[in-house]
Chains A and B, each alone.
Chain A
């Protein structure tokens, strides 16, 4: 029963923007300064982040334009009306597979980093298992509840990140940022490819726009949703370079977490602040991972309509676990992440764009 019209499982524009930011902020930001610093010189990487952000905003706009053309309809529904049912099935299945992989990757990363910063002996398999168990619990609730979880967690996560950034500024040296503009433009582009990976997640607007009260506002929501991480990434990157220098950043595994290590709290109550920072960061990674699995589930069930949700969950969760556990070394995990990101870029870049073009060409009118 729904006596209150805001309880009708719809989300507003603000919630959509928060959701997208929350999904984009995942494990990417923890490694992002390193992968950029490895390619660029000095502090020039901010150009790459800006380029990547612009690309992300562009594709987010395309995806949200497409989604807002078909208000109240799920991805599979509008995809099948644009490009016939069989193709829609293929695309949706591809997305489902991609999101399962993405959820698995996030899980594996969180397990790896937890192992490094929080545990000495507990095996990665166990760490990942509990994470996935809680994830299974979260996706078994309603979708709208999952979205509300993002709204609850994002302020806490943003707070802790800004806290780290503010309190590490005392080690910040402007000299580390100099000289400016020494990187070749080719490298800047190359680095922006790396940072585009960290912006993956805006494509969720395709799958959640049907829940929006005013779907016409999806584009503005997704732009704001990308802008928040963009600003944060720039800050994190600049401060990381300012604190560690370019070479230093390029050589730490998780520069953002290391940044938290440098935080000196007045009153000296906490040491090793990075453990606390990372612990809280788990919240946003959890959101990213569980939303991925939720979308994977939704995609799968829109094709296989007769599968009940508990059955689908108990089918998907072990798959996520095994995919996450397959890579053996850190190198393999990174490689897995890289391949996943390539697939992701193809899916979130090419698919919505071509769907939008085809729908324009075939003159398909949504009902909005």
Chain B
């Protein structure tokens, strides 16, 4: 059953069914998709009103399970129809339904109605029967678009919170898996499920997460973005301090490490807290592959992050300030290729980087088939033509391409985006102060990063503060037998996750 926040403006259910139906219709200003079906059952013409919103409910369910038993000529007990216990009797003995409950408050019933439940009023009863009948059109489970991997499960979260929670339940069949529902959003009134494993999660962390969630107060959280930004320790930082993912296996992995997942209704992107710097370099696939493959890939990703952030800046610095640092042959070929380019390296680099970002942005907007074309036109034709026209040097095109490729090599999109932004900042620093500017920018970014926290966990954990035990899952991913403990940094209640080998 869905969870509903208690409403301050409770209105008791009227004993007259049609009065209630009237109230609902007025409250919603008689919309066209509101279905009100009045049934006369029993000898005295006692009425039952069935309300639902068309499109939100599963029609066959309402027809077959609700209306058919009520309207069938099978004799309903006359004495019961007129009694206040009629609805209880219906729920317990007549209707073949799984999710049904009784509501005393009319406004609560309306909330349920708007969430896709069917509400049944009857004469002589001061309660309403709320039947869970959601059946709107949903997307089927598909492979996650933003986090594709080669080896591993292919199912991804959808917009349906029930599907999403089931994807997690399917993976963790422990009775300690907790899913606490909250209803959030003044007007959206959507559901947010806090998932964690009791007995693993640090209780203090859980308390803090709950405290922050209770402060959520807004009309609607769009996707999970608003929740993320509202709950984050440092909403002004370019670095994400909460992981968002489309992958259920990533969520379950995190839950078993002692983290907490926030499953938000209406979006396939679910949140995991806390997140540290290193978590953005981890992909679920790391655990499906052999440890040395994973270790190599991890190193490659850190390298990719470095290149994606610093390469254009290094190009600018080396070309404008420190040509002496390049071997003479390379310096000559560089200078040769730049012959005729009218701009200084900064302008050239900015020009190309902005073009790249434009292509990327345009590629998202365009319909899929044209998106491909834009890639070819932008990447190949413009690049080629720009070089031929002497606006940029071929080396610059190589630099930009490498930057683009490396930024796609990072498993976390939200993190890669921040690096993209920082790249421009560092390019400007390099343009003004060369290598000195780059190192100072690097220092400044580090100063910022060490000041970050994610739900009380310093962002640079496990490097500083140092948890050598957790380095088994950092640059180097230890063989599975060695990873017998949960991450030390999560300070879990129970820390053994497998039988330790001698």
Contacts and interface: CB of A to CB of B under 8 A. Distances in A.
Given A2-B456, A3-B456, A145 B327 contact: no
A2 B205 CA distance: 9
B436 A114 contact: yes
B208 A152 contact: no
B4 interface: no
A7 B447 CA distance: 17
16 contacts: A1-B456, A3-B204, A4-B457, A6-B465, A7-B465, A114-B436, A118-B321, A119-B434, A119-B436, A122-B433, A138-B444, A141-B451, A148-B465, A152-B450, A276-B325, A279-B436
A279 B443 CA distance: 11
Interface centre among B202, B205, B465, B489 (most CB of A within 10 A): B465
Contact of B322 (A118, A130, A141, A280): A118
A3 B458 CA distance: 11
A87 B322 CA distance: 52
B235 to A, nearest CB: 16
B418 interface: no
Interface string B36-70: 00000000000000000000000000000000000
Interface in B343-390: none
Given A7-B456, A148-B458, A149-B446, A271 B327 contact: yes
A286 interface: yes
Contacts of B325: 270-272, 275-276
Contacts of A146: 447, 450
B453 interface: yes
B12 to A, nearest CB: 41
B440 A130 contact: yes
Contact of B327 (A142, A269, A286): A269
Interface in A95-119: 114, 118-119
A149 B447 contact: yes
Contact of B444 (A2, A137, A145, A147): A137
A137 B440 CA distance: 11
Given A268-B327, A275-B435, A283-B442, 17 more contacts: A7-B458, A12-B466, A15-B464, A118-B321, A119-B434, A130-B433, A130-B437, A134-B443, A146-B450, A147-B464, A149-B446, A269-B330, A271-B325, A275-B324, A276-B435, A280-B439, A283-B439
B327 A4 contact: no
A148 B322 contact: no
Contacts of A272: 322, 324-325
A271 B466 contact: no
Interface in B201-220: 202, 204-205, 207-208
Contacts of A12: 465-466
B335 interface: no
Interface string B447-477: 1001101011110110111100000000000
